[in-house]
Amino acid sequence: MNVSAEDVAQDIASADERPSDSVAARADRLPKAAQLVGNSAALRGVQRLIEQVASFDDTNVLVLGESGTGKELVAQAVHALSSRRNKPFVPINCGAIPAELLESELFGHEKGAFTGALARRRGRFELAEGGTLFLDEIGDMPVAMQVKLLRVLQERSFERVGGTQTVACNVRVIAATHRNIENRIEEGLFREDLYYRLNVFPIEIPPLRERLADLPMLIEHFQTHNKARGVAQISFSPAALAALQGHDCPWSGNVRELGNLVERLAIIQEGRQVQIHDLPARYRQGSEHLVEAQQAPSADLLAAPVPFQASALPTLPVSGVNLKKYLADVEVSLVQQALLRSSGVVAHGAKLLGLRRTTLVEKMKKYGIDSSQK
């Protein structure tokens, strides 16, 4: 595992000169559980890094990203595209195991090593032999354990707790953290030498707020997952989807938060379309003006309707869309919003939409919309 960043960069440069499958082609061969969902430029950059490093089976990888961005998914993808793919992928959360138990979890123990050790037990390094060990939340590993991990990475061997026999290991280590490791080093909470040993090939996952174009594909992905569990399918109105894709949504929980939201709405809506008012308040901040302004519009607003911006338009789902129905839904939504803003005054609503009054009346009849509806 003693590989320098310069060696990896040189190997990757050489690999680029050899014929190989495209990133998309190799990604399509990933198991569904390891496929990254989305087609934004930010996510494609991550996919390319995965493609580049996967075949360098002894190169350590450090996956960086906020909670909920899918760090384990990236680790699974690296493993699945490597020659170690038919060997175990063994994850362990370094922050979820008490410090006094972590050494035994990683390296195993001998019979009688401590009270309750009634038999020899293999640790995660042995369980991952030939495959990949995923050290999640490495930034929370106690400093004393970091010393022992560094030794394993350097010597490719270890001893079980309570034992003297040296056990050789052949595993690839992928670590991940949501923390700023360099800050942890300055605070004395992380060893600098271990950081450089792990950080041979870093992969940083963008937060959801930086890849909002992937939202429709992610929603579709979660819908498929929910359907397999018997949860009703839902759709989102253009206004609701635009609110979720708005820059006022913090998405602090990232993709995990989106998945939870889709599941919650599917349970509540029972197959009905999600409107903007169905969204929890934190997801409509900055978007209430679409539905809450009920006073007649100002003269300036009536005189100069604002055109759509291309950046505000939703992304075409992978599965396609019934364009006729979709445009009708958009038209109904906008007509209703215009009448709501103008307090049911059809002439004012028509000006908001850039239409003649008679044209708006025809559309209201077509869709069965009453100007008194609120």
pLDDT at 343 over 60: yes
Tell me the average pLDDT across 334-359. Answer: 84
Which pTM was predicted? Answer: 0.69
The confidence score (pLDDT) of residue 268 equals 93
Q: Closest by alpha carbon to 340, among 291, 277, 299? A: 291
Judged by average pLDDT, the poorest of 33-42, 287-296, 336-345, 359-368 is 287-296
The confidence score (pLDDT) of residue 35 equals 77
Instruction: Classify domain 212-283 at the CATH class level.
Output: mainly alpha
Look up the CATH number of domain 25-206: 3.40.50.300
- What is the token pair recorded at 33? 């559980």
What would the pLDDT profile of 67-119 be if each residue is shown by its tens digit?
Answer: 999 999 999 999 999 999 999 999 999 999 998 899 999 999 888 778 787 88
Tell me the average pLDDT across 163-180. Answer: 95
pLDDT at 337 over 50: yes
DSSP 295: S
Rounded CA-CA distance 27/81 in Å is 8
Q: Does domain 323-367 have CATH number 1.10.10?
A: yes
Domain boundaries, the chain: 25-206, 212-283, 323-367
pLDDT at 3 over 60: no
pLDDT at 341 over 50: yes
Backbone angles phi, psi at 368, to 5 degrees: 70, 40
Q: Give ∠ CA 10-15-18 in degrees, rounded to 5.
A: 140
The fraction of the chain above a pLDDT of 90, given in percent, is 53
